[in-house]
Structure 1
Amino acid sequence: MNSDQPNTVSILLIILFGLAVAATLAVYGGATLARRGIGRSDLGVRLRGGAAFSGAMAALMYAWGALHLVRDETMTDQACKQAVPSSQTAHITGADVSYLPLHLNCHITGGGSYPAAVPDYVNPSLLGFALIAIVLGVFATLESELSARNNFKKEESS
């Protein structure tokens, strides 16, 4: 099998970076919510904390998926043979790595390819957590702006 093997050092750096981002966002989210307590915090604080936790989960999912790409040539060959239908295993021509969406592409003659190695739940979970983080971040920004306007109007009228 002709294979474009992923650079293991690059993937390990991606994993470490993902873990560092996840830890940073989780600490930020926890610290944001712990300042006054979840129950006493205003909506903007809760939205920011939720966005940080969701971003941390997205980073963890990416690191988890990247961990499945750390493979030698034999492991890549086995992953491709498991992903490709048994009638097509003799026609595997090579493999390469896709980083977005995260998977190992196993190519067969005739131009087809099959995703392998990364669990099926990783990419949808990653997308879901990232979208939730973005939406909560946007809502937190809007709520903060609205709160600042209301405070300004209160000060102006008094």
Structure 2
Amino acid sequence: MSEASSLLAADSGGGHDSILLLFICLIGVIVIFTLIGMLGSGIARRTGRRKTRAEWLGGTALLSVCATIALYAWGSLHVMFMESDNMREECAKAGGAAKAAQVDRYSASYLPLRFTCRIDEGGSYDAAVPGYVNPAMGIAFVLAIATGAVSVVARDQRAAV
């Protein structure tokens, strides 16, 4: 390992906190299983009768929340497993060998999920997190909020009647 590579690895060590990302992923898995359990118990409790619109929308909201959390955990795993050895490879894949040779440090962002290769001249480019993660997570989140809100409104309207 050259002196520049060892300096790069030492500088990059604080770029992201793998323990925090692992904790986020573990909490995400627990929350997903809890929400799926809630959804399953709600389905089991209402067998034998037709589901209302509010119940369907509430189930859709729970599934959308699960999708949002799963996508976040998936993107976090991509950031978490960027060890010092893999960082330059990921930067080379994303920006080419010429740009990867100019990278002097790395950084990570938790929202939106991003692993950034910083060039010594002041520029930067993203690597490692698949391009579909943040948009899909945003769509799932908006769907969760929208269906949850409509579910509450539909339940309140039915209760008022």
1:105 is the counterpart of 2:116: yes
Q: What's the CA shift for 1:112?
A: 1.7
d(CA) in 1 for partners of 2:71, 2:105: 26
Matches within 5 A, 1:1-158: 1=8, 2-3=11-12, 4-37=14-47, 40-70=50-80, 71-150=82-161
Distance of aligned partners of 1:129 and 1:38 in 2 relative to their CA distance in 1, 3 Å threshold:
farther
d(CA) in 1 for partners of 2:49, 2:68: 25
CA RMSD of aligned residues (A): 1.7
Aligned length: 150
Q: What's the CA shift for 1:34?
A: 3.1
Question: What TM-score, normalized by structure 1, do the two folds share?
Answer: 0.87
Question: What TM-score, normalized by structure 2, do the two folds share?
Answer: 0.85
d(CA) in 1 for partners of 2:148, 2:49: 19
d(CA) in 1 for partners of 2:107, 2:45: 46
Contact 1:94 1:107 in 2 (8 A): yes
Contact 2:21 2:77 in 1 (8 A): yes
Contact 1:22 1:59 in 2 (8 A): yes
* Structure 1 residue ranges without an equivalent (≥5): 151-158
Contact 1:95 1:104 in 2 (8 A): yes
* Structure 2 residue ranges without an equivalent (≥5): 1-7
d(CA) in 2 for partners of 1:34, 1:119: 37
Q: What's the CA shift for 1:38?
A: 9.2
